[in-house]
Structure 1
């Protein structure tokens, strides 16, 4: 099957002039040119146009697109990359829809919206870190779980999290040891809190990876200034870390 230039332009939502320009710069030559001078585009050319349009939507200029396509030697790999890019775009749009719906629901019910949720999908600050440490599946599962909650369920979860943080800070201020019964009870509560989040090793029941994750989080609480502030400073973060490390050593 082949399409003439105007047929392809109409179906792709672009102009015939754009297709002729792509031909002139060597970005998208037609599959063949008829004796009458008409350009005809077959499946391979349409697949290439598909890639061009996607990369244009991602903000790339034509010279950069030409470089990308010139480096693609495996058509199947190029299509996989195409699908992955579309899935990322879809996920981002779905997150943005949920964020705007959250704002709408908050306004409709008179409840103050959560600013972090309002900006979800516009700038997910933890996505790359979660994926790098625990994989894409962990991020997707936990992200879908969170956004499936109603506004009130999200607020309830946030209150429970704040209560846990407050209990950690109170224990640290009381001067108890990380190995004390009180600290270890908090560590158990913390691990149980993590196990309620789908996609985490604790939720999956993976003992070795759970230990690794809990220890990693404990260290992150100390090294990340944002987390240290959450636990009322470096001393509080170190107390949580040491308590969690003791719990993984003796209880997991």
Structure 2
């Protein structure tokens, strides 16, 4: 059975433009292209698209996904039935997803235990004779599933221990609401970049350059970075980050993958040349 590109886009929660791009770079080929140029996808193409979306969800960029798929395809080329090969590959993806689920479940459990401990604390104030549960918080494993310092070594290597200390102190000083507001600002900026890239905006356009301005202002607000420190090499820092967005899959994922990150990089290059 075959499905049109519009049907697949709706079912997968993506866009026809994205599917056409996947076709152009060889990630997901349609099963056939009609005489009118419309793309159609069969069940095997759907399974491959699912693999791509799973890997995207794990934070891999499009270039890395292509390498993974090519390696898996090569392994499956030894005479194994295509359905068996797909099932084996998906079993690997399933294992990765289960690990991620375990991490999220650990976080959920830690937050639930913290809420329970805080509830006991509030009841203790209402009933002075009850054992004070405030000492229970650390024993409740409240940090299961969390790693707030996982990038500490990398940051210190790139920009020095002082940069990490300043940024870490600033972050902790924001408090819960301040951290939530900062995340929302970063996520909104990432969404706006991604949408502009998907719409095919020109990096030199007014809209793209306004995004670049917002991006640089956002970077200026992070202590410990050359963007924040007086006399720092702001242009060099922005250009270095722009290249990192493309080269590092973790950053590229914030902008819809390598294609989106490339758009961000090009727009920031133009902004830095004009304004910095």
> Following the alignment from structure 1 to structure 2, what is the Cα–Cα distance between the partners of residues 116 and 236?
33
Matched, 1:145 2:131: no
Aligned to 1:244: 268
Distance 1:147 1:103, change over 3 A: farther
Q: 1:186-197 alignment to 2 at 5 Å?
A: 186-197=211-222
Matched, 1:182 2:182: no
Partner of 2:253: 229
Cα displacement string for residues 44-87 of structure 1 (whole angstroms, at most 9, x for unaligned residues): xxxxxxxxxxxxxxxxxxxxxxxxxxxxxxxxxxxxxxxxxxxx
Look up the match of 1:159.
184
- 1:105 Cα shift? 11
Deviations 1:89-116 (A, max 9, x none): xxxxxxxxxxxxx95997349xxxxx89
Give 1:135's aligned residue.
160
Structure possessing the higher relative contact order (Cα contacts under 8 Å, 6 or more residues apart): 2
Q: Which runs of 5+ in 1 are unaligned?
A: 1-101, 110-114
- Structure-1 separation of matches of 2:153 and 2:196: 32
Q: TM-score, normalised by structure 1?
A: 0.52
The change in CA–CA distance for 1:222 and 1:202 in structure 2 (over 3 A counts) is same
- Say which SS state the counterpart of residue 247 (structure 1) adopts: helix
Q: How many residues align?
A: 143
Query: What is the match of residue 194 of structure 2?
Result: 169
User: Gapped runs of 5+ residues in structure 2?
Assistant: 1-109, 120-142
Contact residue 142 and residue 197 of structure 1 kept, 8 A = yes
**Can you list the C-alpha shifts for 1:150-191, whole angstroms capped at 9, x where unaligned?**
111111111111000001011111111111111111111001
Moved >4 Å (runs of 4+): 102-106
Pair 220,117 (structure 1): closer, same or farther in 2 beyond 3 Å: farther
Instruction: State the distance in 1 between where 2:218 and 2:260 align.
Output: 19
Distance in 1, Cα, partners of 2:180 & 2:160? 27
1:103–1:119 CA distance, 2 compared to 1 (3 A): farther
